[in-house]
Structure 1
């Protein structure tokens, strides 16, 4: 079985945001799989995806603090500055974290660790809506 759909997320402020539930809700076909994979791809160059701690909001804030320190907005050597001080820094952060995740599916659910969640990493002050392409593949459960 193969299924693909797009999910447009509402605009989020700059930061790291849990989106696991939105992703799962967008692919109800996931519940029919015995085993499979869900590939999640973000169709933007100034936002990214990652998988990390899903319980403590401190982790999300610390991610943001670290990346803002490591890749500061408006760093003087940046040449690409036409779209604002946060744009080139956002592209670098997105390149470091990456545009995609491939997640295991088992028995109709994402097979994540207890404390794992999917993050939208919004690297712009006003990034706007973000679109994800969700591609699901796997074997459906047999009805014996």
Structure 2
């Protein structure tokens, strides 16, 4: 009767867990995660607008902060970057970017690092990292 006793124990444990579960909090956390994913995807679409590719300027940017998000797409981790890009003429432009990066690329976006970027002048939301693997 060892198997049935173990089954009864597992059933009792599952019932106890189910009684303690806060469904509302779980749904709220899931909704928050979906909203964050929606913001990330919207930012990625804005930076990859084909209509603005002709107006893009390649330049460099200094990484002010980099924060890894609790989101993974394939093998890439999502990283939220705060940058200061330098337009031709030395004009600094603060910009934010959230994008997936391969784990091997994470060392390239540490605070203080200089990265290659492109953006449409006057539209900092179009900043795009131009780094390879």
TM-score between the two structures when normalised by the length of structure 2:
0.23
Greater relative CO, 1 or 2 (CA 8 Å, sep 6+): 1
Greater helix proportion: 2
TM-score scaled to structure 1, two decimals? Answer: 0.22
